[in-house]
Structure formats: structure tokens, C-alpha cells
Structure 1
Amino acid sequence: MSAALTGAPASQPAAAPSRLDLRLALPALVGWLTAVVLVGVPGAAVGVGLAALLGTVAAVAVVRRGAAARRGRAARGRAVVAASIPSLVAVAVVAAAVALVAPSRMPPVLAAELERGATVAVVLELEQTVQPPRVDQRVTDPGFGGGASADALIVAMVPNVATVPSPAAGGAVATQNAGVVDPAAVAVRIPVRLLGLEVTERLPLGTRLEGRVRVIPLDAGDDRVALVRPVTGLEPIGVPPPLVAGADGLRAGFLALMAPFAGDGAALLPGLAIGDTTAVSDELDAAMKRSALSHLTAVSGANCAIVVGLVLGVGALARWPRPVRVGTALAALGGFVVLVTPEPSVVRAAVMAAVVLLALSSGRPARGLPVLGLAVLGIVVLDPWIAREYGFVLSVLATAALLVLAGPLTTLLGRWLPAPLALAVAVPLAAQLACQPVLILLAPEVPLSGVLANMLAAPAAPVATIVGMIACLLAPVIPPLAMLVAGIAWLPAAWIAGVARVCSQLPGALLPWPEGALGAVLLGALTAAALVAAGLPAAIGSARLRARFALAAVAALVITAGATAGAAALRGLGRPADWAVAQCDIGQGDAVLVRSAGQVALIDTGADPALLTHCLDSLGIERIDLLVLTHFDLDHAGGVPAVVGRVDHALVGPTGRPEDEAVVAALLGGGARVTPSGEHDHGRLGDYAWRMLGPPDHRGVEPGNDASLVLELRPGPGCPACPSVLALGDLGADAQRRLAAVHDLRPVDVVKVSHHGSPDQHLPLYTAVAAPLALIGVGADNTYGHPAPALLDALVADGTLVVRSDEHGLALIGPRDPATGALPLWVERGTVETGTVERGAVERGTVGGAG
């Protein structure tokens, strides 16, 4: 590490690089990879553990038997075997942890209920604080029936018999079977994702809720066992422990303190100071991600490091002994975790910050790798299912980069820059180099402005965090002073938000990159080549070899970036010009276009205006003749700002909230004619005739999913080959059943599947419409279980081809072939059930028409 990090005088020459101590790092890596594999197949854990244990015994025997060998091939072989023993032990321990934890994640009572597919009475304990929705939020969890979402634990559940809520304190769930009330419930600890929670008041972490839910299983390797959707109201029955409740009171007071402030600074400061991101808008969040500042949006290792650094600095000024400084810093870190809520992600960040603290306190940062290895292995053993979490992976990589790369990079950059500036550049650069290959799996782009943004934001982040925390602590004691201090903290928070917005919009701020594992491997290899070319580590190669690495790295960068951009251009050129129906790739949400005779209809707008703008621009759509907002949830109407001023006529579903009216007002302000719509409305779009099949009575329907506008488009004589379309909005199974009972549903060519493919479907409706093509607008890696496997199986069984925006990207459907009646299908990427559809291929897949 550099003098700047170790505390040595800057004038001293840099010491020779210390050799990395990998004795614990390698076993930790092996154990981590073991967990990554075994959590997906927990049934194999016992066998793997026994094999690793036998391997360990055999390796120890080999080492002891060959102890007399001092040199030669036998000695080298014994050394290799001896070096493998820690890794074998790590595999055995991790496998044992998976084998022990797996049964508690899927106890027999839960397995039985999942097999029955029925609802179950449970007691849930929140693992994070849940806030009521803001006034400007149309839905806090757009993917699953509205309401909020939160990580939670099922701490008690009962077999699937007639169930009544228990009035008893302590959260017992009472069951009633043949008139006998049994207050006993099965105690469990099952991690789940709670969806669709109706929140009218703040629910702190640790709150217990009781009610009946539907449980939807997730993949074995997911950190959550299942998704949980309430089917009755969930009633609070328990309060958090006093320490957690007291910290929540401080957080609530700080949020109230920030209410008079405005702008991005007011939205961002609660996240910087206490980890509350409820005020951060989608646009600001996207800007923070595009500028590589998302680690500042909420509590992360950087925030923990700021707290630790402040305490260490005060201790150094006061000349406290090193053990006192370290102990005080760890105590402050623990208090910070309690203040910002000990959610799993916060605890993980605190552990990583503590690792760095212990490593730096030793005075020899190279020792941090064994400490980091021990921390990683300990976390994975305690919770094997954390091994696959992106947050955990990024935390480990960023910490390792600080320990291994930041120092050498500071020394390297110090040849041309002043030491403080070299350090300011090296720290974010090291973190970005280590984390970016993994981030490619989340978004196939490289934020070139990330280092600049982090350099500009770095001086402001500690001020906003520390001063904001002081305001939080002062709020219940001296409110006027707390308001003044919060105003001071608002300034650096506003600066960070401004840096994010400016850097995210710089020309060339994002470099397109190949997606998926291939893109991650390519970027990782390119990063390694670049480090070698820069002389890191210095022991590798001569100057000539490093020059060759540099040339190879530059060539690979140019070729990869050019190929990515070129492939995108070719895909655009290969799109069929005569498409009639298009499904935009806008993440978790709906946005379907229908075009005929020069007129365009847009059914819903998705949640992100930027994504919708990209889709419309790529298809050359400038005007929207007919906009249909099926309902006002965020994933259907959040993208309206992208079309304000471009819409002639808008049909909207029932409104019921001020934010719904704000959407209508925005459309009216842009010159659109807005009409409340409902059953029996009809009209024309080019050669199409459209009609509304629901809701039955606009004025008498409660807004929400089941009040979605249901639009049917049928081709007229002017375009007999145009595909017919049925768009179901977000209707649930009961609403779909009523729709099928009221209307004579004829076959259509294309059905827009309801609610992103949620499991709440009336499958006979899809059989009745017999659509050869089904469109599902769904976000990649969404946490809602969309689309449901049972629905996909039913559609395939009916002979329907499923086109998903998460797997296929943009999808275009052309007019039916006059001779065969087949529908030409073009997808941006991926595969479909009828065979492979190459990127940019036109008419590689065709499906039969509906007649």
C-alpha cells in the first residue's frame, strides 16, 4: 500500500511490494464457489461434504507419510497436497452448512402446503422497514398487485386447515379443526419476499404480521425461499425490540425533519445518512447508477468506512492508543448499523468495513487478505445462500480491491499526480475495475464517467453522511439546531446528485458492452491485461511484454466496443419495416405498439420514460394517435412523461388518487384529448377496429388491477392480414373469469398476457382466445416470480408461442403471410420455443394465424 494509506510520510520512497498472503484467501474462494454451486442443488451437499472430508483425511495421511522428504519431486508433491488441505476443509465445512440449513429453509409443513397450492396462515417478521407510499408514487411495488414489498421471515405457520386469527399476544396463529381451537403453530424461520403489502403507516424492522398468504416457490439457489402474497389483511401483532424501536424513532424524526427541504439533495440525504431511499426518484436512481455512484444512494461499505474513518481521525487527534481507536471505531460502526437498520445488506457492508479497519490497524495492509478470507468464509458458512447475491459479490470484490489494488495504483499514479490526487483516483478506480465485470451481468454497459463522478462526489459524501447523522441525533433533542445542521448536510447531498445527473449525461458516458457471462469474462480478461500492461503486479514480465499487453488490451477494447455497437446497428437494420405489433423492452412493465395505415396506438408506457423513449425512437415513432393507459400503476403509466406532447387521444382507466389525476393533467397539458374509457367504447385505428371489453362501468369500478382497460383490436377489410390483438392489462383470475363469462371471446393472433405472467390467471380464457403468440412484458431477474411456470406450461400446452421481453428484448410481429396465414416474428435476442431466432434475424420464426 502507498504511504498515503499506511500513514508513512509522503516523502519516503515506496516500499517494495509485499507478497500477498493467500493462505486463507484461496480456501475462502474455494468455499465460496462451493456454496454458489451447492445452494442450487442442496441435496448434493452431504455427498460433497463426505467426499471433501475423506479427501482431507487422505491428504493429511499423504503429508505425514512423506514428511521425511526434503527435496525433489516427492517434496514438491507433498507441498501441493498440504496446500490443498485448507481448501478441502473449507469445502467440507461449507457443504455441512448447506446440508444443515437446507431443511430449515424448506420444512415439511411448507413443502406440504406448496404441493397443495393452497393458502396458509403465517406469522411474518419484517427484515426491513416498510414505509407508506409517497404522494407521487403510483405503486411502491409495481410488479405484483400493488402495495409494498419487503424481505421477511415466516416465523410461524400452521397446516392448511380452517384458520382464524389468534387474539393471543405473541403472534400465535390459531387453527380451528372440527370446532377445536389449537393455538399451537409450527415455529419456523423461512426467508421470503413479501409482496403486495398494503401499508398505511410505518412498519419498522422486526414488526410481526399475522394473516393468510399464498406462497409461491422460488428456485433453490435464490436467497429467498418463496414469494408471499397476502390474501387477507396482515395485522401487526408484535413490536420490534426496544433498541431497534428506539433507532426507528430516530429515523422517523429525521425523515420528518427533511420534509421542508426540496430537490435532489433532500431526496438523497436520508439515503446517505440513515439508509432510507424512499424519496429517491427513478430518474435520480438511474443517474446514480449510470455514473457509478449507486453505492452512495443507500448505506454501503463506503458509508461504513466514513463513520469508521471519522472516529479514527478523532482518536488520532486525541492521541488515543491504537487498541482504543479500533475498539471505539468498531463500537461506532455497531451503533451505525443499528441506526440505519440491521438489514442483511447493511450487516454485510459493516462486516466488510470492519475487515478493512482491522487490516489497516495492523499497519500492514497485505494482512487484510487473510482477514477478508476469514470474513468471507464465516459469512458463507453462517448463510450459504448469500453466496449468489450480487450485493455480497460486489462487497467482497470492492474490499479486495481496496486491500490489493488501491495501494499499487496510488503508487503508479503518484508518478504523475500529487499523492492526495493519486489516492483520490486510485480508490474508486480500484473498486470499479474489480466490480465492473460483475456489474455487466446486471447492465451490459461500462460507465466511463464513473471514476470522474466518484472523484467529484468523494469530498461531499463524508460531509453529507456525518453531518446528516448529527442532524438525525439532534432532531429529538434540539429540533431548531437539527434543522440548521440538516440544511448544511443538504448542500453536499445536492452536489452529489448534481454530479450524478451531469456525469450520466456526458457524451460517451456509457460504453455498450456484450451482455451476459461472455461480456463479464471479456471485461475481466481485458481488465487483467490492462493491469499487467500498467505494471501491476510489477514482478510480471519485462517492459516489452507489458507493452504487448497494453497493445492487446487496446485492440480488444476497440474490437469489443466496435462489435457491440456494430451488432446493435445491424440488428436495427435487420428489423422488418412492415411490422404491425411491437412489444418494447422496458423492464418490468407493459408497452405494446399497434400500427396500421400510418396510425399508431400505444398500450401502456412502462415505468421508465427513458426506456420508452429509446424504444419509440428506435422504431421511428414520433406521434401517438391513440394512447391506452389500462390503469395507473407505475409499471403501466410511469413512462407517460416520454409521450407528453406526442399524444393525440388518450383513453384512461378509472382514477382514484391525486397522482392519477396528475398523469391526466400532464397529458392534457401536452395537448392530448383525454377520455375516461370502459366497456363498449369503440373506434378505429387505421385499418383496425378496436373495442373495450372492460371494465364494465368506469364510474362504479374501484381503481386497480381488476379495473384495467381490456382492449381488443380486429383488422378491417383494408388490412385482412393484420394480426388481431387482445391486451388484458393486469386483470387477476377472478376478473378474467368475469370477462370470459360476459363476452364471447373469439380467437386472436396475439394476446398480451395479463400482469406480466403472474400466477393469478384464469387459464380457460387463454384457451378460449387460442392465440398463437403471447406477449409478456417482464423485467429480467424480477423478484416477483414472473412469469409463473404454471402459466408458461399452460400456454405451451395450448400451442402458444411465448415472447418475453426479458429474454427476447424488442419483438416485432408483421402482417400474416397471404399464402400460409403465418405471422412473421422478429426478436432482438434469445430463443423461442419453435427454434433459435438469431439476433436481428427476420422471419426466422413464424406461427399460424388465428383465422
Structure 2
Amino acid sequence: MRAAPHTGPGTTVAVLHAENAPTVVGLPPVWQRWAGTVRDRLAQVGSAVLPADRAGLLPGLVVGDTTALTDEVREDFRVAGLTHLTAVSGANVSIVLGAVLLLVRAVGLGPRSGTILAATALVAFVVVVRPSASVVRAAAMGSIGLLAFVTGRERQALPALCTAVGVLLVLLPDLAVDVGFALSVSATAALIVAAPPVVTRLVDRGWPRPIAEVAAMSLVAFVATAPLVAAVSGTVSVVSVAANVLVAPVLAPLTVLGSLVAVGASVVPWVGEVLARGTGPFLWWLIAVADRAASLPSAELEVPDGPVGAVVAAVLVAVAWSVARHRRVRITALVIAVAVAAVWLPVRMLRPGWPGAEWVLVACDVGQGDALVLATGDGRAVVVDTGPEPEPVDRCLRRLRIRRIALLVVSHLHADHAGGIRGVLTGRSVEMVVVAPGAAGDDAAGVLDAATGVGVVVREVGAGATLRAGDLDIRVLGPAGRRTGGSENDNSLVLAVDTVVGRVLLPGDAEEAALDALVRSGTDVRADVLKVPHHGSRTTPARFLTAVRPSVALVSAGRDNLFGHPHPEIVSTLTGIGARVLRTDLHGDVAVLRAASGALAVVSDVRGTIEP
């Protein structure tokens, strides 16, 4: 290894470079090489015959290999509470052992021979999927269950769980602080202790037993794990129970078929490919459920992380559980749900969701700050600024279903424009972060380190630079050079973006000195859409607004903010030159889109369509 000084932006001091290729000191054991071959061939046959999203999900469900899982599917599964499906656990072990024992019974083998075959399959399964905490716990329980089966004793699930946990903690003490192990044990204990009485109660109320069992298992597993998930992640999935109920019917056949794909691909690849095609409909259903569930408004609740979050989640779950026990409350909730579904579903089916398929630009309501999103036309987006906090910009991007970002532009380093950067970076693929010249030092450290910390390239650009992202042509109009000793606002990047509805001008928080210099330089600042500088502050000169002469002016400001943004004089000047002024503090998220006629139109999520 060789250390070299770091010359780029951010707080990184040095970079380590490998001088030579890795040296092979020895081969892994033959059983590990065999397991690696099985995993690789499973991934290969999936990639050969399935779309990318399904091909990446198949190894995750069968052997817990999520390396090829797309960012979109990964995030949808997280929000929908389905991530556990890609962490091989007790359910997978139970399905595999059940399939083997059914085969044993079908061919007429005795209990001892069947147990030996099942134990062999269990060991092979653990080797292939690798012994994670949940797999080790499930394998231990499966071994105890097989021992009970061969000795002819009735299997007792709770003693088996307790024995498995005790033995594993003695052998592997580190599991005591492993979150995955805690989640696995909590969910399993809930299924053993709480699920049977819930099933009985639902059946007594007229539910068909298969549906009652699926609903009960999903519900008690959620109740048991929600506090721990909240403590770790700071979120509670509202849609988890419903999503798990919807996907439950396909899990067993998909696990069995996926295991056959892994076996077939290892022996005769074309057999594996044929079987892999059969998994397509099941995988499509899982992805569709996760996608729809994750896209629902408020699909997950933000709570504090740590012990406070665990307590909040536990209280929410307890209150919901207690309230649901009252017959009148259940009937009222059912009537409301049916009424809402009767109105909402036809509307959703007949009308596309906000803001519609032809949106070009969205000014996100992030409070007292800026965050704008431009559609690139190829499924990606360009994000300009992030607002002060991660949650609002993340909500806006989720609503727009943005998972891939071609460019993240940080106009300048004030917190109201850059503080929410982690809300953009988390759960999405970002190709590049763009900043103004000289973006270095303590003010930039948080922004730049957040980007470089997840492997995103950071690039400085100044006046004269051009950028291309999908259908968007972006010209950098300012600043002209390295940052000056003046205000940080005047060092804002000023962008002109050519879109399908015309030119969009994004001047960040540039103030009078920078804007006057831009106009005096003869730069063409005319635009159809203007993001009003500095939230509509009086620091924007009227001559600049007159030179731009936009038809739509977007003001991003916080509701009842202490600065009085936007200033009445600025609003008056804009309306006087014929601009329609849209404000996030009054109109919420505001979208500029192309109407059916091809003309520019504006849609507010608060006030609906505003005529061109």
C-alpha cells in the first residue's frame, strides 16, 4: 500500500493506493468453492432469462445474496417491511426441510433415513447461504426439530427455540449484540407464542384458516419486531403487515422453485434457466407489491432512533392493538376503509398520480430552503439543492419515485440549501455531485464528506461549463471564478437549463452584486421559468427580474418564516412583468409540466392545476 496526499475537496487528508495485485496465499476449502459455484450459477441463470430487477431479487430470496439487487427494489422492500425476505432465515429453512420430508414420505423412506437426508440438505443449505445470525438460529432449531422427529417425540417449538438460542449464545457470544439475531429470535418467539391464539380468534370470527394464519403471522411478527426496528432505523413501516399478507402465498412455491433453480444451474445450466423462467411471475408479484406499498403516502413513520424510538413504536403498536379489540372501532375503521377505497381506487386507476407523467420540474416544499428536481426524460433526475433537513427532500423524491439521480447540484454551502443532502443520497444511486469553485473548508466538509463517503464523485464547475443529463442541457452562468471574500450567497452556482417546456433559470441565493454583474456582462438570462433568487428576498434587483421576464416564477420559502420571504416588492415586480408567482409556503410542492397541447402548465399539490 502507498499513502498519498488528498488534493480534492472535503476533509480527507490522505488516500491509500494498492501498488500490486492481491496475492493469493491459498485456496478456500472445497466446500466453500462448491458453495460459491452454486451462488454464482444461480445469479448467472437468473441474469440470462429474467429482467434486471427480478434477476437481482432471485438470489436474495434463495441464498441471501443481495449484491445484484437494484437500488429501487432494495428501497421498496425496506419501506414496505419486506427486507426480511432477502435475509435467509427460519422460513427458508422450514420450507426446504418440509419439501425434503415430503419427498421422503412420498418415496417411502423411514424416519431415520429421511432425517439423514433432511440433515444433509440442511447442512448443504447453510453452507450455500453462509451462516448469518438468522440462518444459524434457524439451523439450530431445525436440527432440534429433526432430532425430535427421529426419536418419535412431539416437537415443542418454544423449548426448541430456547435451546437453540442458549446453545448459540454459549458458542457464539457475539450474537448477544447482533441486531439480526435479535430480530430473528423476536419474530420466531412471537410466531410460536402469539400467533396460535390470534389464528384461533380469527377463525372463530369466520375467517378462512389459511387467511387467518397468514394474517396472524404477519401481524405478530410486526408487533414483536417494530420496536427494535424503530430503535435501529428510526422508522416504522405502516404498510408492513398488509404487504407481508399479500406476498405470503407465493413465498413457499418461490423458495422451493428457487432452490431447484440453484441445484439445476449447478448441474445442467439450461435446466436452471428453464426453472428460472418459472420464478418470473412470483418475483414480479413481490416487486409489484413492494413498489405499490412503498409509494403510498406515509408508508413509513419517522420516529427517534435508539431507546426513545423503541418506546414510541411500542406505544403506537400497543395503542393500535388495544383499539382494534373493540368491535365498534373495528367496524367503523372497516366502513371508513371501504368508503375510501371505493372513491380512491377508481380515481387512482383512471387518473395518474401527482404530478403526472409529463412533469419537467418540481419545486419541493422543504420549508425555509431550496430543493428542485428536474426530470431527465430517461427515468433519472437532476436535483438542485436539498433543503435544510433530509426528511422533506426525501419525501419529495419518494413521491416522484426518483431512485436514480444523474446530478446533484449544491448551489452553495448554506444549510438551507445543503443540509438535507443525506436525504438525497440515502437509498438512491447518485452519479455525481456538482459544487461551485473552491467548495472546500469546514463549511463544505459535511456536504462533501457525505457524498464521498458513499462513493459519489464530487466535481467543481464554474461559469462556461456545460453539463448534460438525459434530455437536459445545463449551462453554468456563474460564478465566474474562484470564490471571493464576499457573501456565500454571491458564490451560488447560477444554472440555465434547456427543457422541453423552455428555459429554466436557477440562480441559487445570488444577491444584488452577483445578479447585477451577470446582467451587465451581457449574459442571456431570459427564461420561461425562474427560481426566484434567495427565497424572494429584497436582495434581488428589479432590473434582473425584468431581464429574465419569466412566465412562471417559483418561490421556495417556509410557511410563516421569520424573514418575511418572499418580500411583497419582489412579488409585485414579478406580477407586474406578467409572471405567475407560485410559492411553496402557500402551494406546497409545485410542478411545471408539459400540457397535452405542448404548452407549459403548473400543478400544485395543494391547489391542483393552474391554467397556462
Say whether the fold is shared (TM-score over 0.5). Answer: yes
Asked if structure 2 preserves the Cα contact closer than 8 Å seen for 1:626 and 1:651, the reply is: no
Distance, in Å, in 2 between the alignment partners of 1:359 and 1:503 is: 40
After superposition, residues 595-744 of structure 1 pair within 5 angstroms as: 608=424, 635=454, 637=456, 665=468, 667-673=469-475, 687-689=489-491
Asked if structure 1 preserves the Cα contact closer than 8 Å seen for 2:386 and 2:424, the reply is: no
| Residue among 466, 476, 479 paired with 2:256 | 466
Residue 523 (structure 1) aligned with residue 313 (structure 2):
yes
1:760-780 deviation per Cα after TM superposition (whole angstroms, max 9, x unaligned):
xxxxxxxxxxxxxxxxxxxxx
Question: Compared with structure 1, are the counterparts of its residues 511 and 471 closer, same or farther at alpha carbon in structure 2 (3 Å cutoff)?
Answer: same
- Deviating more after overlay: 303-312 vs 524-533: 524-533
Question: Compared with structure 1, are the counterparts of its residues 393 and 444 closer, same or farther at alpha carbon in structure 2 (3 Å cutoff)?
Answer: same
Distance, in Å, in 2 between the alignment partners of 1:144 and 1:274 is: 39
Residue 235 (structure 1) aligned with residue 23 (structure 2):
yes
The one-letter code sitting in structure 2 at the alignment partner of 1:403 is I
What does residue 283 of structure 1 align with? 72
The one-letter code sitting in structure 2 at the alignment partner of 1:438 is L
What does residue 92 of structure 1 align with? none
What does residue 443 of structure 2 align with? none
- What is the Cα deviation at residue 351 of structure 1? 2.8
Question: Compared with structure 1, are the counterparts of its residues 626 and 354 closer, same or farther at alpha carbon in structure 2 (3 Å cutoff)?
Answer: farther
Distance, in Å, in 2 between the alignment partners of 1:682 and 1:410 is: 67
5+ residue gaps in structure 2? 3-9, 334-363, 372-384, 395-406, 440-446, 494-507, 515-560, 564-612
Residue 330 (structure 1) aligned with residue 119 (structure 2):
yes
Q: Secondary structure at the match of 1:414?
A: helix
Q: Secondary structure at the match of 1:446?
A: strand
1:539-598 deviation per Cα after TM superposition (whole angstroms, max 9, x unaligned):
xxxxxxx869x99xx9xxxxxxxxxxxxxxxxx9997679999664489xx98956699x
Distance, in Å, in 2 between the alignment partners of 1:418 and 1:604 is: 48
Question: Compared with structure 1, are the counterparts of its residues 607 and 672 closer, same or farther at alpha carbon in structure 2 (3 Å cutoff)?
Answer: farther
Distance, in Å, in 2 between the alignment partners of 1:577 and 1:602 is: 9
The one-letter code sitting in structure 2 at the alignment partner of 1:396 is V
Question: Compared with structure 1, are the counterparts of its residues 265 and 714 closer, same or farther at alpha carbon in structure 2 (3 Å cutoff)?
Answer: closer
The one-letter code sitting in structure 1 at the alignment partner of 2:472 is G
What does residue 486 of structure 1 align with? 276
Residue 453 (structure 1) aligned with residue 262 (structure 2):
no
1:78-126 deviation per Cα after TM superposition (whole angstroms, max 9, x unaligned):
xxxxxxxxxxxxxxxxxxxxxxxxxxxxxxxxxxxxxxxx99xxxxxxx
| Residue among 253, 277, 302 paired with 2:41 | 253
- What is the Cα deviation at residue 496 of structure 1? 1.0
Asked if structure 2 preserves the Cα contact closer than 8 Å seen for 1:304 and 1:353, the reply is: yes
Question: Compared with structure 1, are the counterparts of its residues 458 and 475 closer, same or farther at alpha carbon in structure 2 (3 Å cutoff)?
Answer: same
Q: Secondary structure at the match of 2:233?
A: coil
Question: Compared with structure 1, are the counterparts of its residues 532 and 626 closer, same or farther at alpha carbon in structure 2 (3 Å cutoff)?
Answer: same
The one-letter code sitting in structure 2 at the alignment partner of 1:256 is Q
The one-letter code sitting in structure 1 at the alignment partner of 2:177 is R
The one-letter code sitting in structure 2 at the alignment partner of 1:519 is G
Q: TM-score, normalised by structure 1?
A: 0.41
Question: Compared with structure 1, are the counterparts of its residues 650 and 347 closer, same or farther at alpha carbon in structure 2 (3 Å cutoff)?
Answer: farther
Distance, in Å, in 1 between the alignment partners of 2:31 and 2:267 is: 18
- What is the Cα deviation at residue 255 of structure 1? 2.0
Question: Compared with structure 1, are the counterparts of its residues 547 and 428 closer, same or farther at alpha carbon in structure 2 (3 Å cutoff)?
Answer: closer
Distance, in Å, in 1 between the alignment partners of 2:463 and 2:479 is: 15
Distance, in Å, in 1 between the alignment partners of 2:66 and 2:512 is: 53
What does residue 432 of structure 1 align with? 222
| Residue among 271, 277, 284 paired with 2:60 | 271
1:226-260 deviation per Cα after TM superposition (whole angstroms, max 9, x unaligned):
xxx98976422111111111121222222222222
Asked if structure 1 preserves the Cα contact closer than 8 Å seen for 2:60 and 2:87, the reply is: yes
Residue 378 (structure 1) aligned with residue 167 (structure 2):
yes
The one-letter code sitting in structure 1 at the alignment partner of 2:475 is R
- What is the Cα deviation at residue 305 of structure 1? 2.0
Distance, in Å, in 1 between the alignment partners of 2:11 and 2:120 is: 40
After superposition, residues 123-138 of structure 1 pair within 5 angstroms as: none
What does residue 420 of structure 1 align with? 210
- What is the Cα deviation at residue 322 of structure 1? 4.7
1:413-432 deviation per Cα after TM superposition (whole angstroms, max 9, x unaligned):
11230111111211222211
Question: Compared with structure 1, are the counterparts of its residues 352 and 525 closer, same or farther at alpha carbon in structure 2 (3 Å cutoff)?
Answer: farther
Question: Compared with structure 1, are the counterparts of its residues 509 and 253 closer, same or farther at alpha carbon in structure 2 (3 Å cutoff)?
Answer: same
Q: Percent identity?
A: 29
| Residue among 386, 396, 403 paired with 2:192 | 403
Distance, in Å, in 2 between the alignment partners of 1:266 and 1:574 is: 36
Structure with the bigger percentage of helix: 2
Question: Compared with structure 1, are the counterparts of its residues 500 and 717 closer, same or farther at alpha carbon in structure 2 (3 Å cutoff)?
Answer: closer
- What is the Cα deviation at residue 464 of structure 1? 2.4
Q: Secondary structure at the match of 1:424?
A: helix
Distance, in Å, in 2 between the alignment partners of 1:326 and 1:247 is: 22
After superposition, residues 679-828 of structure 1 pair within 5 angstroms as: 687-689=489-491
What does residue 97 of structure 1 align with? none
Q: Secondary structure at the match of 1:672?
A: strand
Residue 302 (structure 1) aligned with residue 104 (structure 2):
no
The one-letter code sitting in structure 1 at the alignment partner of 2:454 is D
- What is the Cα deviation at residue 672 of structure 1? 2.3
The one-letter code sitting in structure 1 at the alignment partner of 2:223 is L
Question: Compared with structure 1, are the counterparts of its residues 381 and 678 closer, same or farther at alpha carbon in structure 2 (3 Å cutoff)?
Answer: farther
1:498-523 deviation per Cα after TM superposition (whole angstroms, max 9, x unaligned):
11111122344324445431231243
- What is the Cα deviation at residue 271 of structure 1? 1.0
Distance, in Å, in 1 between the alignment partners of 2:147 and 2:202 is: 26
The one-letter code sitting in structure 1 at the alignment partner of 2:42 is F
1:366-423 deviation per Cα after TM superposition (whole angstroms, max 9, x unaligned):
x322222222122112222221111010111111112111211111111230111111
Question: Compared with structure 1, are the counterparts of its residues 681 and 251 closer, same or farther at alpha carbon in structure 2 (3 Å cutoff)?
Answer: same
Question: Compared with structure 1, are the counterparts of its residues 689 and 300 closer, same or farther at alpha carbon in structure 2 (3 Å cutoff)?
Answer: same
Q: Secondary structure at the match of 1:688?
A: helix
Q: Secondary structure at the match of 2:222?
A: helix
Distance, in Å, in 1 between the alignment partners of 2:136 and 2:82 is: 20
Distance, in Å, in 2 between the alignment partners of 1:451 and 1:303 is: 19
The one-letter code sitting in structure 2 at the alignment partner of 1:688 is D
Larger relative contact order (Cα-Cα within 8 Å, sequence gap ≥ 6): 2
Distance, in Å, in 1 between the alignment partners of 2:184 and 2:481 is: 55
5+ residue gaps in structure 1? 1-117, 120-142, 146-195, 197-213, 215-228, 535-545, 555-571, 614-623, 641-646, 653-663, 692-712, 720-811, 815-851
Question: Compared with structure 1, are the counterparts of its residues 651 and 351 closer, same or farther at alpha carbon in structure 2 (3 Å cutoff)?
Answer: farther
Q: TM-score, normalised by structure 2?
A: 0.55
Distance, in Å, in 2 between the alignment partners of 1:235 and 1:576 is: 54
- What is the Cα deviation at residue 329 of structure 1? 2.8
Q: Secondary structure at the match of 1:235?
A: coil
Distance, in Å, in 2 between the alignment partners of 1:269 and 1:263 is: 10
What does residue 759 of structure 1 align with? none
1:123-160 deviation per Cα after TM superposition (whole angstroms, max 9, x unaligned):
xxxxxxxxxxxxxxxxxxxx999xxxxxxxxxxxxxxx
Question: Compared with structure 1, are the counterparts of its residues 585 and 359 closer, same or farther at alpha carbon in structure 2 (3 Å cutoff)?
Answer: farther
The one-letter code sitting in structure 2 at the alignment partner of 1:242 is V
1:306-349 deviation per Cα after TM superposition (whole angstroms, max 9, x unaligned):
21221233334445555554443332121111122334553344
Distance, in Å, in 2 between the alignment partners of 1:325 and 1:650 is: 74
Distance, in Å, in 1 between the alignment partners of 2:463 and 2:418 is: 11
After superposition, residues 84-233 of structure 1 pair within 5 angstroms as: none
What does residue 231 of structure 2 align with? 441
Distance, in Å, in 2 between the alignment partners of 1:612 and 1:471 is: 30
Asked if structure 2 preserves the Cα contact closer than 8 Å seen for 1:460 and 1:492, the reply is: yes
Question: Compared with structure 1, are the counterparts of its residues 607 and 467 closer, same or farther at alpha carbon in structure 2 (3 Å cutoff)?
Answer: farther
Asked if structure 2 preserves the Cα contact closer than 8 Å seen for 1:440 and 1:446, the reply is: yes
Asked if structure 2 preserves the Cα contact closer than 8 Å seen for 1:687 and 1:717, the reply is: no
Question: Compared with structure 1, are the counterparts of its residues 507 and 680 closer, same or farther at alpha carbon in structure 2 (3 Å cutoff)?
Answer: closer
